Every structure is written in C-alpha cells, then in structure tokens.
Structure 1
Amino acid sequence: MIEQHLTLDDMPLFTKLRMTAFGEAVIEIANDPACDTWSFSQKIRHALEKEAQARGERRMLKLLKASRAPNPAACVEDVHSLDGRTLNRDVVARLAACRWVEQTTNLLILGSSSVGKSYLAQALVNAACRRDYTAAYYRLDDLANQLAVYQHQDPARLKFLEHLHSCDVLILDDFLTTPITSETGVCPVNGVWGPAVFMS
C-alpha cells in the first residue's frame, strides 16, 4: 500500500469536526521530516496541545468580548509604575493572579483623573478572562441608564440582573463620581454578587 501523507486538502474534514488546530498540527507533523523520529503518542499529544491552546484562546476572546471592556487588549504586562503612583509591579502581579476573585474580595482603585485607573481595571478583566473567569464592565451611569429602562418586574430587567449576578467579576467605573441610584447602590453590595472592582 502506497503511503499517502496528509495535506492541506484534508483540512476541510478537520474543520468540519471543529478540530482545525489539531488538523493543522497533524498535517505539519506529517510533512516535516524533523518529526519522523517522534513516537505516535508524541505526535498526537503535540496536536492535542495545539488544539487545546487554540480553544483556550477562542474561549478567552469570547469572554473578553462578553465583558464589554472598552479596551479588551489591555493587559497587566503593559501596566507601568510611574513616579507619583503607589502601584508597583509586585502588587500588579498579585492582582493578575486573581486570588482576589477566588477569595471573593472587592477591589477599590483610587486615583486622580488620567492616571490609568480604567486601564488597570481592564487589564484585570483581561487577566481574569485568561483564567476562564467571566466579567462584566460598566460605567456606573451606563449601568444606571440600563436599569432605568426596565420596569421593576420586567422579565428583561430580571434577565439582565441575572446576567450580572452570574458573572465572576463585576467592574464599575466612575464609582462615586456619578450619582448612585437606589438600583445601582444595591446591585454590587446585595450579598449575592461575586467580587467587584470599583474605580473612582
């Protein structure tokens, strides 16, 4: 029997099975002489790792999009400590590890205007999504406006609140710089929320 190597012509089948990254890795291995010395198990493990990595990246991008963060590309690696800031790399690294999420600990980020509070909060959103946590990012007045649209027992309002309750992390920007209504005041502190990040 003549051996037939896998080629790009075989990719549609992998794509149909939703294993695109796995297929790309298998075809690469089949056509790379450097991989000829690999055992069958090594080849399969390598392809599985590529597929798992690709799915993890897609999952993270989906979580970032769902978070509504204005700058989903913000990341803790780009947070710099400048003169006049009390934030340092060690603090950022600890926050990026997301232990505060696991421990249901709220964060309060204070600072004068334009020092990077919102960027830091969005970088923490990114860090949380990397660790497979869900997040919701709102400016307080936007949240108030969203809640004001609904009647108290409106099913859409209840669904919206259920969505917020289901998030692992709630981020509220412009907290205390925007008037707090009875709705927005109760939302993050009603005892059934996960950890919240407040910026003021």
Structure 2
Amino acid sequence: MEGIAMALTDEDFELLGSLRGMRVFATTLQEIVNDPSRDLDSFEDKIKEALDAQIAARDSKVIEKLVKAAKLPNALAALERFEAHSNRGITPDRIERLATCDWITYGRDLTIVGATGTGKSFLAQGLAVAACRHKLTARYFRLADLADEFDATADAAYERKALLEELTKPAVLVIDDFLATDVSAFALAQVFNLLVKREHSSTVIVSQHEPEYWYSVFSENAIADAVLSRLANNGSKLTLIGEDMRTRDDFQEERGTLSKQLKQRQRSKR
C-alpha cells in the first residue's frame, strides 16, 4: 500500500521561515507551492529556485553593507549608468573590463583626470560600487577630508599609524578631488606613505589636473616623482572629456531625490 503524500502547511512554511537565514527560501517556496501553474515542475527545480532566491537576498545584504561602509557621497552611482563612448575618452568595452574588477584583484591603480562635470567622480564611485558587488571592500575620501584626518594625527604617531593601517585594508580606495584645494605638506607626505603601504591594493586617484601638475604642489620633487612612478608603473590613466554631466535633467532629478531622502532620514532621527 502506497503511503499518503504529506502536504506542506502554512505552519510548516512559518516554521521554516523562522529558522535563521531561511525566510526568503521559505517565502519563495511557499509561493511556488501555492501556484497551480508550477505543479508539474520537478521537486529539484522548486528547491533550486527557492535556494537561488535565498542566496540572492543574502548577497544583496552583504553588498548593501559594503556600499554603506564605503561612505560614498552617491551610493546610487553605477557603471551601467555611465555614458561611455569614444568622444568621452572611455569606451563601453573599457567600462565592461573595469566592471569585472580584475584590476582590483591584481592590485592595479587607476588615475581619472577630467574637467569639472565630466563625470570622473561618478565613474570613480561607480567603480567602488562595482567592487562591492564583487564582495570586495571599498572606501571613499575627498583629499581635503583625508588631509584633515591626517593633520589631526600630526602629534599622535600611534593614531596616525592606526589610520594608515585602516586605510590600507580596503581592496580599493578612492581619493577624489586630488589636489583640488590646498592641503598641508604633512598631509601630502602621509598620502604618499599611504600609497606606498597600498602597494598590493588598488587606489583610484581622481583629479582635475594632469599628473605633471602635481610637481608644482608637492614641496619636494622626490615625493612627486615617487607618487607618479607608483601610479604609472602599477596602473593606468583615463582622461574624460565631454559635457558637464551635472546639467543633465536626470542627474538633477537624482540629486533632488537624494536630498529628499536625506531630509526624511534626518527628521526620523529627531
């Protein structure tokens, strides 16, 4: 006599969903079981779809956490939203290759140069987001803010060492607005020390100025030579050209949305 098949009940799905890390799996499986059009699907297909949904949800949380830790001004920056074509100084093929993050895996550096509004900061942040999607750690700084961090440790060697160690850890470090404003010679020296310590990790330098200009800023040409050599021998350079992206309607709308979200979060904290 054949046994009677036992159907899963709502209580069973509730119990499964209560298990740690199984909520999405249970919800997806329940949706499949309750869908008559899926009755002829194999048991393996149903379980595989529910498992894929659970893994996707887990990965999404990991990526969200990594993006938050990167402290990007625009967490919505993404390489697929960057308009790449040859007359902008970068091709779609180059974007696709950068999106693989192989250059980060091998610890290669990247210098992005361009006039104000050409999208260099957006591109750099998109690269950081791409790294997070590959479950690699990222961190973003404007040089002026990074310099302030170093200046605050001028009389505290232990804290300075700890800061350097912390900034050595991310798989990719973005330093934006490089030499856009005056910073102390001490801070610049620490940035050089940081680049040296990140010899086997990727650093993205974003600047309005070509590297040759840096000689006029560094107090010692030896430091400029060392920085240029470090970036030239261990990476590549992109020079962006084209229209001011900040004048585009879609980006203006996005900034408005981000501003509203920030205000809502601030009100919710009160």
TM-score tier by shorter-chain length is 0.7 to 0.9
Specify which of 187, 196, 203 is matched with residue 189 of structure 1. Answer: 196
Cα deviation code 1:69-91 (max 9, x no counterpart) = 11111111110137852122121
Specify which of 125, 128, 133 is matched with residue 130 of structure 1. Answer: 133
How far off its partner does 1:39 sit? 2.2
Call closer, same or farther: CA 1:122–1:149 in 2, change over 3 Å.
same
Aligned to 2:157: 152
| Superposed CA RMSD | 2.3
Structure 1 gap ranges (5+) = none
- Aligned residue pairs, count: 198
**Greater share of helix residues, 1 or 2?**
2
The farther-off stretch of 56-65 and 38-47 is: 38-47
Cα deviation code 1:114-170 (max 9, x no counterpart) = 11110000111111111111101111111121233331113xx44443332221111
- Length-normalised TM-score, structure 2: 0.67
The farther-off stretch of 58-67 and 188-197 is: 188-197
Aligned to 1:119: 122
Structure 2 gap ranges (5+) = 208-270
The farther-off stretch of 58-67 and 80-89 is: 80-89
- Length-normalised TM-score, structure 1: 0.88
Identity of paired residues, percent? 35
Call closer, same or farther: CA 1:139–1:8 in 2, change over 3 Å.
farther
DSSP 3-state at the match of 1:184: helix
Asked whether the equivalents of residues 6 and 27 of structure 1 are also in contact (C-alpha less than 8 Å), the reply is: no
Aligned to 2:240: none
* Larger-Rg structure: 2
1:164 aligns to 2:167 (yes or no): yes
> What one-letter code is carried by the residue in structure 2 that aligns with 1:50?
A
How far off its partner does 1:16 sit? 4.4
Call closer, same or farther: CA 1:153–1:122 in 2, change over 3 Å.
same
The whole-number CA distance in structure 1 between the counterparts of 2:198 and 2:127 is 22
The whole-number CA distance in structure 2 between the counterparts of 1:95 and 1:2 is 52
